[in-house]
C-alpha cells in the first residue's frame, strides 16, 4: 500500500535513481507517482497519475542532485489525481514529504490549520503543513518531532527541507528499511528497491526516527535518545527480484515453484523443535492470515488434523479480534503472511499478545514487522514475490505447515522426504507441454462471465484460493465451494456450458467429489478436472502428480497458471490488477 523510496549519497542522479527504485516498488501501488528534490535552490516536484513504469530511463538526467524522495501511490484518502499524488509540500513549498499509512486524526488537524491552505484531499498533506508551521519556530528536526507527536495512526514518512542537506524518516506501523551502501543511503518500503546497490540493511522499528546525512543516526521517538542498530546482510540476489526473461512476475514466480518448495524445507532443526514444543504445549492453537495466506491457514487446519491429529481454529485476521475471549496465556496464535506487514494480521497479534498468548509467524520477508513482533518466527525462503497475486509464497507456506504437522507427529525427516519428492514432481509438472495445455484451456473459457470451483477436505480451501487467483487477475466472477455444499444452493447457478473446475485428489473423499462433479455435469457444466487420474466426467483433464496429503500444493499450481493465461489472453496486466495492492498495511 504505497511505496516509498528516497536516496542520499555520492551519486548526482538521485531523481532517476529514485524513479528506478520506485519502479521496483510499483507492486505496492500504481495509481500515481511523484518525486521531489532540491534543484537550483528550490524544491522541484514532479507528479503524475498512472504508472511509474511508464517513466523513461534518464527522464531527470538534466536535474542533478544528491538527494531525492519519491512515492508510488495506492489511493486511500482522496481520489487518483495529480494533486493527491505524493510528495506533498507545506504552504511555502519548502518541506516535501512522502508517506505510507493512514493518519487517523487528519481531519482534526485540517480543521485546526484551516482548510483553505490544503491543495489535496489526502491525510498526508497535514503532515507537510504541520511541519511547515512548526518549522517557522524551530529547527527542521524539532519541527518533525513535534509534528509526529500530533499524529495518530500508522505511518512511514520521509521528509526533506529546502536548504538542509539531510533526510528525516520515521516509522510507526508501516515498513521502512535503510539500505546502507558506500557513501550512500537508501530508504525504502521494501528491500528489492535497492538490492542492486547494497545487501546491507538497517530495519527501522516502530517509533524510531532516522536522520540520513553524511552518515545515519537512529533515535527513539519515545525517549528522544540515540539508538545503536545492527547492520543485517540480506541473502537475496538482485536478479531474484527481477523479471528476467519472463513477460510478467506472476509467470516467473509460478515457475520458480520448481525450486521454492525445497527452499521452504531449509529450516534449522533446533528452531523447528522449539516451535513444535510451543505448538504441543499450547492449549488452544489459532491460525490466522489474510487473503491467500488465510486460505493457506485453512489448508493447514486439515494438515494438522490429518497428520498431527491436532485441532486448530482458523479465522481470517480481520475477524480474529472478536475471538479474544478464547485467548489465554497458554494459547498460541500462528500467523501466515508473505509480506510480514499486513495490518489486520498485526492487529490480530496485538490482541493475542494483550491476552498473554504466544505468537508464531510464518513469513517470507526477513525482518518484517510480523516476524519481529512474534515470539517465534520461521521463514518460508521463497525469495522476493512481486506479483500482487501470491503464487510461490502460497505453496511454500503450505509446505512449511505440512512439514510442521509431520514434525509434531515426530516425523520431521519423513516430512522432508515427502516434500522433497513433491518438489521434484512439481519440477516435472511445470514443463512446456503442461503450460501450453493450460493456455489452451484458458482460451476455451476466457469469455465466461462466471466460473465455479469445487474441492473437498484439504482441497476445499484450494477451491477458495483458486477463486481468489482467477478473480484477482482475470476479473472473471469466480467462486469456490466445498464440493458437498453444491447441492445446497450454488448448483442453481449452473447452466449449459458454465465452466467448473473440480479438484479431485486420490484420497478418501475422491468418490464424493466425482459424484458432485457428475451433478455439475448433468446440469450442463463444462468440467475441467484437476486430478492425477482421468475420468469420463471431465471435458478437460489437467493431470497433476499423485502426492498424497500434499495434494493442495500440486493442485493450486495449474490454477495459478490458468488465472495467469486468462488474464494475459484478455489483454490484462496480471502483475498489477485493478484496485489491489501486494501489501495491505491499512485496516
Ligand atoms: C493482499 C494481497 C494478497 C495477499 C494478502 C495477504 O490482499 O493482494 O495477495 O494474500 O494481502 O498478504 P500477506 O503479505 O499477509 O500474505
Closest ligand 1 atom to residue 390 Cα is 9
- pTM assigned to the model: 0.79
- Atom 8 (ligand 1): residue with closest C-alpha? 582
Distance 291 CA to ligand 1 centre (A): 5
What pLDDT is recorded for position 586?
A: 66
pLDDT at residue 401 is higher than 80: yes
Burial of 558 per CB tally in 10 Å (0-12, 13-18, 19+): buried
What pLDDT is recorded for position 245?
A: 84
Q: Which residues contact ligand 1 via a Cβ below 6 A?
A: 290-293, 337-339, 342, 345, 388-390, 580, 582-584
- 301 φ/ψ angles, rounded to the nearest 5 degrees: -55, -45
What own/partner pairs with CB < 8 Å and gap ≥ 24 does 244-250 have? Answer: 247/568, 248/387, 248/564, 248/568, 248/573, 248/574, 248/575, 249/27, 249/386, 249/387, 249/575, 250/387, 250/389, 250/391, 250/473, 250/560, 250/564, 250/567, 250/574, 250/575
Which one from 8, 24, 392, 582 is the annotated catalytic residue?
582
- Atom 7 (ligand 1): residue with closest C-alpha? 291
Among 154-158, 189-193, 404-408, name the most confident range: 404-408
Beta strand extents in 350-397 (DSSP E only): 358-363, 376-379
pLDDT at residue 1 is higher than 70: no
Distance 294 CA to ligand 1 centre (A): 9
Query: Among this protein's residues, is 2 annotated catalytic?
Result: yes
pLDDT per residue as tens digits for the range 273-301: 999 999 999 999 999 999 999 999 999 99
What pLDDT is recorded for position 389?
A: 96
pLDDT per residue as tens digits for the range 450-463: 999 999 999 999 99
Find the DSSP H helices in 40-139.
106-113, 125-135
Closest ligand 1 atom to residue 389 Cα is 9
Cα dihedral value 392, 396, 402, 406, nearest 10 = 150
- How many separate helices (H) and strands (E) can be counted in the chain? 16, 25
Distance 180 CA to ligand 1 centre (A): 28
pLDDT at residue 78 is higher than 90: no
pLDDT at residue 239 is higher than 70: no
The enclosing H or E element of 149 equals: helix 140-150
pLDDT at residue 154 is higher than 90: no
The span from the CA of 467 to the CA of 389, in Å, is: 12
What pLDDT is recorded for position 238?
A: 65
- Point out the least confidently predicted range of 54-68, 88-102, 391-405, 485-499: 485-499
Distance 553 CA to ligand 1 centre (A): 18
Query: Among this protein's residues, is 119 annotated catalytic?
Result: no
pLDDT over 90, % of the chain: 82
pLDDT over 70, % of the chain: 98
The span from the CA of 486 to the CA of 37, in Å, is: 58
pLDDT at residue 534 is higher than 80: yes
Amino acid at each position: 500500500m504505497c511505496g516509498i523510496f528516497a536516496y542520499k549519497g555520492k551519486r548526482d542522479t538521485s531523481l532517476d535513481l529514485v524513479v528506478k527504485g520506485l519502479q521496483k516498488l510499483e507492486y505496492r501501488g500504481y495509481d500515481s507517482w511523484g518525486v521531489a528534490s532540491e534543484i537550483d535552490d528550490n524544491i522541484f516536484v514532479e507528479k503524475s497519475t498512472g504508472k511509474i513504469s511508464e517513466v523513461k530511463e534518464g527522464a531527470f538526467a538534466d536535474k542533478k542532485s544528491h538527494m531525492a524522495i519519491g512515492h508510488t501511490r495506492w489511493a486511500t484518502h482522496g481520489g487518483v489525481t495529480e494533486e493527491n499524488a505524493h510528495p506533498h509540500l507545506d504552504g511555502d513549498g519548502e518541506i516535501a514529504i512522502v508517506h505510507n499509512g493512514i493518519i487517523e486524526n487528519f481531519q482534526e488537524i485540517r480543521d485546526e490549520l484551516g482548510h483553505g491552505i490544503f491543495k489535496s484531499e489526502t491525510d498526508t498533506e497535514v503532515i507537510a503543513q504541520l511541519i511547515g508551521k512548526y518549522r517557522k519556530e524551530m529547527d527542521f528536526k524539532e519541527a518533525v518531532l513535534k509534528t509526529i507527536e500530533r499524529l495518530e495512526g500508522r505511518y512511514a514518512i520521509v521528509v526533506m527541507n529546502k536548504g538542509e542537506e539531510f533526510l528525516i524518516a520515521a516509522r510507526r506501523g508501516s515498513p521502512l528499511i535503510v539500505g546502507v551502501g558506500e557513501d550512500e543511503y537508501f530508504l525504502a518500503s521494501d528491500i528489492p528497491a535497492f538490492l542492486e546497490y547494497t545487501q546491507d540493511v538497517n530495519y527501522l522499528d516502530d517509533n524510531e526516527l532516522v536522520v540520513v546525512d553524511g552518515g545515519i543516526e537512529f533515535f527513539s521517538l519515545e525517549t528522544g535518545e540515540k539508538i545503536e542498530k545492527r547492520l543485517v546482510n540480506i541473502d537475496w540476489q538482485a536478479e531474484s527480484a527481477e523479471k528476467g526473461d519472463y513477460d510478467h512476475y506472476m509467470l516467473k514466480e509460478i515457475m520458480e515453484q520448481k525450486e521454492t518448495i525445497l527452499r521452504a524445507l531449509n529450516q534449522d532443526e533446533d528452531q523447528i523443535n522449539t516451535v513444535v514444543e510451543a505448538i504441543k504445549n499450547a492449549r488452544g492453537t489459532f491460525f490466522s492470515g489474510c487473503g491467500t495466506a488465510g486460505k493457506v491457514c485453512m489448508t493447514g487446519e486439515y494438515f494438522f488434523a490429518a497428520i498431527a491429529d491436532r485441532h486448530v481454529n482458523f479465522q481470517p485476521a480481520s475477524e480474529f479480534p472478536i475471538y479474544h475471549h478464547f485467548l489465554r496465556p497458554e494459547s498460541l496464535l500462528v500467523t501466515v503472511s508473505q509480506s510480514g506487514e499486513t495490518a489486520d494480521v498485526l492487529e490480530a497479534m496485538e490482541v493475542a499478545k494483550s491476552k498473554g498468548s504466544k505468537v508464531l509467524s510464518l513469513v517470507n520477508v526477513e525482518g518484517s514487522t510480523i516476524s519481529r513482533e512474534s515470539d517465534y518466527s520461521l521463514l518460508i525462503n521463497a525469495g522476493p514475490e512481486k506479483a500482487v497475486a501470491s503464487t510461490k509464497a502460497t505453496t511454500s507456506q503450505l509446505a512449511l505447515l505440512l512439514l510442521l504437522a509431520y514434525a509434531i507427529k515426530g516425523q520431521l525427516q519423513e516430512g522432508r522426504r515427502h516434500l522433497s519428492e513433491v518438489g521434484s514432481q512439481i519440477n516435472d509438472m511445470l514443463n512446456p507441454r503442461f503450460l501450453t495445455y493450460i493456455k489452451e484451456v484458458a482460451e476455451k473459457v476466457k469469455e465466461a462471465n462466471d466460473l465455479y470451483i469445487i474441492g473437498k477436505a484439504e482441497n476445499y480451501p484450494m477451491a477458495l484460493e483458486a477463486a481468489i487467483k482467477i478473480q484477482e487477475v482475470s476479473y472473471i466472477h469466480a467462486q469456490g465451494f466445498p464440493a458437498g455444499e453444491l447441492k445446497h444452493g450454488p448448483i442453481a447457478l449452473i447452466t449449459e456450458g458454465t465452466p467448473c473446475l473440480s479438484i479431485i485428489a486420490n484420497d478418501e473423499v475422491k468418490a464424493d467429489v466425482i459424484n458432485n462433479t457428475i451433478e455439475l455435469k448433468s446440469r450442463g457444466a463444462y468440467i475441467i478436472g484437476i486430478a492425477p487420474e482421468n475420468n469420463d466426467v471431465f471435458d478437460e483433464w489437467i493431470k497433476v502428480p499423485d502426492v498424497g496429503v500434499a495434494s493442495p500444493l500440486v493442485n493450486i499450481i495449474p490454477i495459478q497458471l490458468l488465472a495467469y493465461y486468462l488474464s494475459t489472453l484478455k489483454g490484462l496486466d496480471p502483475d498489477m490488477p485493478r484496485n489491489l495492492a501486494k501489501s495491505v498495511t491499512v485496516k
